[in-house]
Structure 1
Amino acid sequence: MGINVGLMHHRPYFISAFPSAVQMTEVPMGVKNPKIITKFAGEAGESTVEHIACYMVELGNLADNENLRMKFFPASLTKNAFTWFSL
């Protein structure tokens, strides 16, 4: 889970915290991957409630699928929030 350093390349890579069932969940055929515009950085003054509400709106109908909600959630994080999530 989190960011690790590979033994051979010494480059950071992301290992998902989610089970493989979540990682393997696909968007239904004919539906595009959501475009996550609203990013949460975890900075003072940011509302977690507002972030989740915006995230759910951006997911649209995909928000009905719990696995897809989890799969795309890291894309809604940035800066310190993403770093925290990926550790």
Structure 2
Amino acid sequence: MLAWFASPLRRLWPYLAAAGAAVSALGAAYLRGRSDARAKADLRATKREAAALEERLEMNREATDIERKAGELSDEEAQREAMTWAKR
């Protein structure tokens, strides 16, 4: 009963196996490409976040330096400094 199906299958199975392997290889290459793209995007995002954090730290350092300098100024010097910034 299965002879009509088994006879051609015996001759075609190497071709079917090769086609299955080719489809599997293409699928794996596609998924690997998507994974690489996602990894690159994650790396870019991480670098952007690190740069933003470094910028924030630098701004805090500058603000701290300015606060220290302002703390050392006398009232008259602070008034003059404030006026120069107020004019801008």
Instruction: Give the TM-score normalised by the residue count of structure 2.
Output: 0.19
Which is richer in helix?
2
**Structure with higher RCO (Cα < 8 A, 6+ apart):** 1
Which is richer in strand?
1
